[in-house]
Structure 1
């Protein structure tokens, strides 16, 4: 399976997190993968939190690494959560910054292991568990990393620029072209395929699905109707998003009201005609996934 078209995307430089500990495979690492020691703190209204919630569900870690779900809208200045402040204060002397989510904490020490979502998801994949599910299968690392870059730059950042109120028409048009090109490449990848890599669910699918959720529930509101219709024209891509939403690990974590409240609480952009052109009925998909999870 060729990965040339995916791997050509340049790398993303993410902002450095406050805490970036890693979980190793044995006791010599300090933090090692043992059940009932760690806890996730996240909000599924946040894209990083949604990725972690989906990945955690796919890995079946409910018992081994419990999750504390946080409110959709942070309750402290700077986007922080008051519930996380004790962890931050225990982990950094005289910490004065915002207590941001997501967080992977160590219940044994009462301190933070990491706030860096990509590392956290990779480390969760190391936890001992039943079954053979792996989000980062050996040999597929380059495909997964390429999809991560495409979603960050070609979907998330491009969609933001395409709907940016202060940008000129030429800049918005160029960003829309990048977005549509990225969606077209992913559409080609998925045509006739169930998943992005090696006919199995991986972290690449988690990444793309969350990006598509954001595109339809957040970024669409700042695009014109013509742009949204062009985005919706990638039928294989949206059929894939609909299919994954039916999976309990994906759809049951959709907090549409929370996503909306978080978006309107921090967004400074202007609403455009595309807000009225919903691509998928996410509410129905989430309800179906919740029903399936209770069977």
Structure 2
């Protein structure tokens, strides 16, 4: 595995630098998979943070790699988190930008390993406990990654464009068709099975679930009711989302109030009629899963 040096990589998508250190297979890597060395800093109100929190639970890493939860709404005027500033300052000389999550930190050095969520999830897979699902199964990595791209581009980005204030009607209609086409392709890929790739849970399922959470709790607020009804028509996908929400590894991390506060704090769009058409009762399904796990 190629290990990138601990250095800030410029990104066009965020004001803070992206750190791209990787965890390797042994001590020669610098950062290697050893229990109790690393710590995740994340907010489950953020889609990247929610994805990592779910993956962390699925892999059973609660004691191996602890998690520090960040508030849903950052507490600094620059949009960063005060709690993360020591890590950023130790990792980037004279750093003055916002300290953003999620972060995989190295408790031994007090520095950042990575702020790149896709890399972090792949590296956490090295720590999985015995008997736990492999999130990126050998031979299926490219399929899992293709689903992750579909979720990011065909659901997340397309839904944003479809509901963006100031976009022309043609642009919004094209984005909505991209979104619906992606949902249809994923629903056909799910078929009658329980999971998207193979017969076990993978990172593809986690990515799709988080995308559906965002679609129903954030993006539908900027879509018209007709569009939301068309989205809700993909019944197998929403049954999939409901089923996973009832699993403690998923539903336990749902912070619906935090997602709403983060959305209202960041969003500059206009609310549309779709805001009143909730597709799933996320809180209810998560509570059902918690009740079942206690019985």
TM tier, smaller: over 0.9
Query: What is the correspondence of 1:194-213 to structure 2 with a 5 Å cutoff?
Result: 194-213=194-213
Where does residue 110 of structure 2 map in the other structure? 110
**CA 198–109 in structure 1, closer or farther in 2 if over 3 Å, else same:** same
- Once the two structures are superposed, residues 128-170 of structure 1 have per-residue CA deviations (whole angstroms, 9 ceiling, x without a partner) of 5222421010011111111111111110111001101101111
Indicate the SS of the match to 1:211: helix
Alignment partners' CA distance in 2, 1:37 and 1:290: 30
Report which structure shows greater RCO (CA 8 Å, sep ≥6).
1
Where does residue 263 of structure 1 map in the other structure? 263
TM-score (normalised: structure 2)? 0.93
Where does residue 92 of structure 2 map in the other structure? 92
**CA 33–197 in structure 1, closer or farther in 2 if over 3 Å, else same:** same
- Once the two structures are superposed, residues 175-231 of structure 1 have per-residue CA deviations (whole angstroms, 9 ceiling, x without a partner) of 100000000101111121110001110000000000000000000000000000000
Alignment partners' CA distance in 2, 1:177 and 1:204: 22
The Cα RMSD (Å) is 1.4
Where does residue 77 of structure 1 map in the other structure? 77
Where does residue 143 of structure 1 map in the other structure? 143
Alignment check: 8 A CA contact 2:20 2:113 kept: yes
Query: What is the correspondence of 1:243-282 to structure 2 with a 5 Å cutoff?
Result: 243-282=243-282
Say if 2:209 is the partner of 1:216: no
Alignment check: 8 A CA contact 1:33 1:128 kept: no
Indicate the SS of the match to 2:126: coil
Alignment check: 8 A CA contact 1:33 1:126 kept: yes
Alignment partners' CA distance in 2, 1:244 and 1:91: 37
TM-score (normalised: structure 1)? 0.93
Where does residue 178 of structure 1 map in the other structure? 178
Q: Where does the alignment leave 5 or more consecutive residues of structure 1 unmatched?
A: 1-12
Indicate the SS of the match to 2:127: coil
Indicate the SS of the match to 2:196: coil
Alignment partners' CA distance in 1, 2:88 and 2:154: 33
Alignment partners' CA distance in 2, 1:89 and 1:149: 32
- Once the two structures are superposed, residues 93-125 of structure 1 have per-residue CA deviations (whole angstroms, 9 ceiling, x without a partner) of 100110000000011111111100000000000
Q: Where does the alignment leave 5 or more consecutive residues of structure 2 unmatched?
A: 1-10
Q: CA deviation at 1:293?
A: 4.6
Where does residue 22 of structure 1 map in the other structure? 22
Alignment partners' CA distance in 2, 1:24 and 1:204: 22
Q: Number of residues paired by the alignment?
A: 283
Where does residue 8 of structure 1 map in the other structure? none
Alignment check: 8 A CA contact 1:163 1:222 kept: yes
Alignment check: 8 A CA contact 1:248 1:292 kept: no
